[in-house]
């Protein structure tokens, strides 16, 4: 079987285009970005869609899982100078080896650790690593288990030793996706057995019990994040207009406001006022702000 491109139109992905037309890998596997010795060895692809007159055509383009699997990591990497959001998916044993895929710098996170994902399921949108980079998808394929416990794994600086490490743990994603593969087994899901192939109408196989959360966008110039759903509680920080969060539990009313609890990222578990009950004024919306 074939795995699919993490970007591109449905037609491009289903027809097996690697990479889809007009998408390019700006860096390349094993590139050391010489002479920047400290940068390290590139572990995968930097996927960009640069169209004439629209340098950032990949901005917020959908990002899809390359195959069936289980999410092992999905959050903002705590050190803000490196990755931004990282998503890692475990695909089980493929060609006799573990297989993990990594999607980094993404604009938001639509899955949570433990979620079962299917080939072509949207997991995110192309981002810029919280402003660290120009918009692109950093994408890796690993054939060891290193990303399970080190989702941020990055062999640096550039050296022969680190190049050997990249060759040990990663493959050229372009070549790999172009070749057919044998899925020996899918990853175990806690409390269940192994996933079986197409389980869409088999009630005995595990289903995704954590629905993907909608993305909420900050509409106000700035919203304050609180540790409890009330403005007198301790503040955790602020989010500026256009920032995105996931809200798990909406519906707490307090101080004439509707509050939501943030899931994932820096403010995981904290609270934000979504809107005023009276008069109607919204601080956050599931639609991006209109400029």
Q: Which residues bind Zn ion (CB under 5 A)?
A: 46, 138
Q: Please state, in angstroms and as integers, the Cα–Cα distance from residue 258 to each residue in 212, 249, 276, 282, 284, following that order.
A: 21, 11, 6, 9, 11
Question: Measured between alpha carbons, how far is 106 from 51 in angstroms, rounded to an integer?
Answer: 20
| Number of neighbouring beta carbons within 10 Å of residue 37 | 12
Least CB distance to Zn ion at residue 27 (A)? 5
∠ Cα 85 88 94 (to 5°): 160
Least CB distance to Zn ion at residue 46 (A)? 4
**Residue 104 or 263: which CB sits closer to Zn ion?**
104
Least CB distance to Zn ion at residue 6 (A)? 13
Q: Which residue is nearest to Zn ion (CB)?
A: 138
**Residue 46 or 68: which CB sits closer to Zn ion?**
46
CB of 66 closer than 8 Å to CB of 181: no
DSSP for residue 59: T
**Residue 46 or 90: which CB sits closer to Zn ion?**
46
**Residue 138 or 169: which CB sits closer to Zn ion?**
138
CB of 90 closer than 8 Å to CB of 99: yes
**Residue 46 or 270: which CB sits closer to Zn ion?**
46
**Peptide bond before 279: cis, by omega within 30 degrees of 0?**
yes
Question: Measured between alpha carbons, how far is 279 from 291 in angstroms, rounded to an integer?
Answer: 23
Least CB distance to Zn ion at residue 179 (A)? 22
Least CB distance to Zn ion at residue 44 (A)? 6
CB of 99 closer than 8 Å to CB of 196: no
CB of 218 closer than 8 Å to CB of 241: yes
| Number of neighbouring beta carbons within 10 Å of residue 168 | 12
Least CB distance to Zn ion at residue 132 (A)? 11
**Residue 48 or 215: which CB sits closer to Zn ion?**
48
């Amino acid at each position: 079987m074939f795995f699919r491109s993490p970007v591109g139109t449905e037609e491009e992905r289903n027809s097996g285009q690697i990479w889809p037309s007009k998408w390019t890998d700006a860096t390349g596997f094993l590139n050391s970005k010489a002479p920047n010795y400290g940068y390290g060895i590139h572990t995968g692809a930097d996927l960009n869609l640069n169209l004439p007159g629209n340098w950032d055509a990949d901005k917020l383009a959908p990002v899809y899982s390359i195959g069936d699997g289980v999410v092992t990591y999905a959050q903002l990497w705590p050190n803000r100078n490196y990755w931004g959001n990282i998503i890692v998916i475990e695909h089980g044993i493929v060609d006799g080896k573990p297989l993990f895929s990594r999607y980094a710098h993404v604009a938001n996170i639509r899955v949570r650790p433990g979620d079962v994902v299917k080939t072509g399921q949207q997991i995110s949108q192309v981002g810029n690593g919280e402003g660290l980079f120009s918009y692109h998808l950093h994408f890796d394929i690993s054939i060891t288990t290193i990303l399970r416990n080190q989702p941020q794994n990055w062999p640096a600086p550039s050296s022969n030793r680190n190049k050997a490490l990249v060759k040990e743990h990663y493959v050229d994603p372009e070549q790999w996706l172009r070749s057919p593969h044998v899925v020996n087994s899918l990853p175990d899901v806690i409390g269940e057995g192994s996933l079986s192939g197409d389980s869409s109408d088999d009630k005995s196989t595990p289903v995704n019990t954590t629905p993907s959360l909608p993305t909420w966008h900050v509409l106000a110039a700035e919203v304050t994040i609180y540790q409890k759903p009330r403005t007198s509680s301790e503040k955790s920080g602020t989010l500026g207009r256009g920032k995105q969060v996931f809200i798990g539990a909406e519906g707490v009313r307090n101080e004439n406001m509707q509050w939501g609890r943030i899931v994932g990222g820096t403010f995981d578990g904290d609270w934000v006022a979504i809107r005023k009950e009276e008069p109607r004024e919204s601080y956050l919306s599931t639609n991006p702000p209109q400029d």
